[in-house]
Amino acid sequence: MTAAPPATSSATRLIVILSVAGFASTFAGRSIEPLVGVLARDLASDPHTVALLSTAFALPYALIQPVLGPLGDGLGKERIVAICLGVLALALGGCALAPDIASLFWLRILAGAAAGGVVPLALALMGDRIALAHRQVAIGRFLVAVILGQLSGSTFAGLIEATVGWRGVMAITAAVAVAAAAAALFGFDRTAAAPPRRVGVREAVARYRTIVAIPRARVLFAAVFVEAIAVFGIFPHLAPLLDARGEGGPREAGLALAGFAAGGLIYSACVGLFVRHLGLSRMLMAGGTICAGALLVIGMASRWQVDAAALVALGLGFYLLHNSFQVQVTEVAPTARASAVALHAFSFFCGQALGVAILGGALQVLGQFASLGLCALVTLCLGLVTARLLGRPTPMKMP
């Protein structure tokens, strides 16, 4: 598929709509993390169990990808994004009414599966419509909305929970999803969409087999899986850790977690400079090194303000790594971008879901510093290894 230049009004319109959709998706996902302690008390559950609500969102997000990728390639990415946003809005509305922790888990599972059709397909759409030379900067701009969703979700939930309660927070996330669904339903330029194609299980399996056979694709899928475990495992555990050492509750946890999003915004503001002056290899090495240092600081269990500053650095380092992986995967299989990006998201969110459980166990056995020290070592090695393996891009085409 030939990509259109990025300066057209249709491309601008596309990025605006996708930005609204991406904001709603990440706003819903991140809003639960500062509320872990409150939900544990209100629903009479253990904090480590409630922390798995993050996994309940991330795991179905990952597991639905092999289905949504072929659907996006066959039926149209715009159509699938709009449907997923509608389901997300319904699931989040149900979360606000959940009578117990079991119901909340099931509704978060549905919300996670629906959210899985937003950001991955948005990336695939930008791969279709925006030329590769401009794509890293364009995706970096789109990430501003995604990161603002993370920032608002974690900060907003922590700050207003005392006023509206956790049910009020969930109701607001549902309203944001409704607005995004309306933007997708009425805003997409349908004349630019590819005509629908037949979607069959055999064709989808064959397409995935071909993608996985590409060595560069395998490196990218493995990289984001490891990255997600090492970076995101700490997030839902941060609020209980702060509470246990007397450093605060949902408010402080939300503000600290907002640091990660702030680091992502710094990346988005500087992405053009990074691409121009560093290049792919040095961006990957810098990302891994910065993540390692930030995780070591968080492991020292200092004041929550220090954790917040470290999370700013962690966000910057993460996006130096992750946005580089994202851009590469949008070009690894140009004739099946939705499927390739879906496999990438599948790997990433499987790692994110697994990371919560792994780090939860490690914190209880090894303690905070040793657990995060191991994560730091992993991110450092990840940056160095992927810089070597991906540093000389070679265009990969579907056979």
What confidence tens digit (pLDDT) does each residue in 80-110 have? 999 999 999 999 999 989 888 889 999 999 9
pLDDT, residue 5, reads 43
The residue among 82, 41, 330, 300 whose CA lies nearest residue 193 is 82
pLDDT tens-place string over residues 231-255: 988 887 787 777 777 776 667 777 7
Q: Does the structure show a pLDDT above 80 at 398?
A: no
The residue among 15, 116, 31 whose CA lies nearest residue 345 is 116
* Average pLDDT, rounded, for the chain: 83
> What gap in Å lies between CA 307 and CA 350, rounded to an integer?
26
Q: Please state which of the ranges 167-181, 200-214, 263-277 shows the lowest mean pLDDT.
A: 200-214
pLDDT, residue 119, reads 87
Q: Please state which of the ranges 18-32, 195-209, 315-329 shows the lowest mean pLDDT.
A: 195-209
Contact 67, 76 (CB under 8 A): no
Please compute the mean of the pLDDT values over residues 170-181 and round it to a whole number.
92
What percent of the chain is modeled with pLDDT above 90? Answer: 26
pLDDT, residue 233, reads 83
The token pair at 3 is 């990509």
pLDDT, residue 337, reads 79
Please compute the mean of the pLDDT values over residues 360-378 and round it to a whole number.
89
pLDDT tens-place string over residues 261-280: 889 889 888 888 888 888 88
Q: Please state which of the ranges 5-14, 72-81, 143-152 shows the lowest mean pLDDT.
A: 5-14
Helix axes of 132-187 and 77-96: crossing angle, nearest 10 degrees:
60
Higher pLDDT, 247 or 220: 220
pLDDT tens-place string over residues 103-134: 999 999 999 999 988 988 888 888 777 777 67
What percent of the chain is modeled with pLDDT above 70? Answer: 91
Confidence of residue 76 (pLDDT cuts 50, 70, 90): confident
> What gap in Å lies between CA 304 and CA 287, rounded to an integer?
23
pLDDT, residue 3, reads 43
pLDDT, residue 254, reads 74
Please compute the mean of the pLDDT values over residues 72-79 and round it to a whole number.
80
Please compute the mean of the pLDDT values over residues 348-361 and round it to a whole number.
84
Q: Please state which of the ranges 177-181, 234-238, 370-374 shows the lowest mean pLDDT.
A: 234-238
Higher pLDDT, 11 or 349: 349
Q: Please state which of the ranges 14-18, 51-55, 200-204, 322-326 shows the lowest mean pLDDT.
A: 200-204
Q: Does the structure show a pLDDT above 60 at 4?
A: no
Confidence of residue 381 (pLDDT cuts 50, 70, 90): very high
Please compute the mean of the pLDDT values over residues 296-301 and round it to a whole number.
85
pLDDT tens-place string over residues 140-155: 778 888 888 877 777 7
The residue among 59, 154, 179 whose CA lies nearest residue 112 is 59
Cβ atoms within 10 Å of 62's Cβ, excluding its own: 24
Q: Does the structure show a pLDDT above 90 at 394?
A: no
The residue among 340, 321, 318 whose CA lies nearest residue 386 is 321
With a CB cutoff of 8 Å and minimum separation 6, the contacts of 251 are 34, 158, 159, 162
pLDDT, residue 300, reads 85
Please tell me the pTM assigned to this model: 0.73
Q: Does the structure show a pLDDT above 80 at 328?
A: yes
Q: Does the structure show a pLDDT above 60 at 334?
A: yes
Contact 327, 127 (CB under 8 A): no
Contact 136, 284 (CB under 8 A): no
pLDDT, residue 364, reads 85
Domains of the chain, CATH where assigned: 9-188+195-389 (1.20.1250.20)
Please compute the mean of the pLDDT values over residues 331-359 and round it to a whole number.
83
Q: Does the structure show a pLDDT above 80 at 282?
A: yes
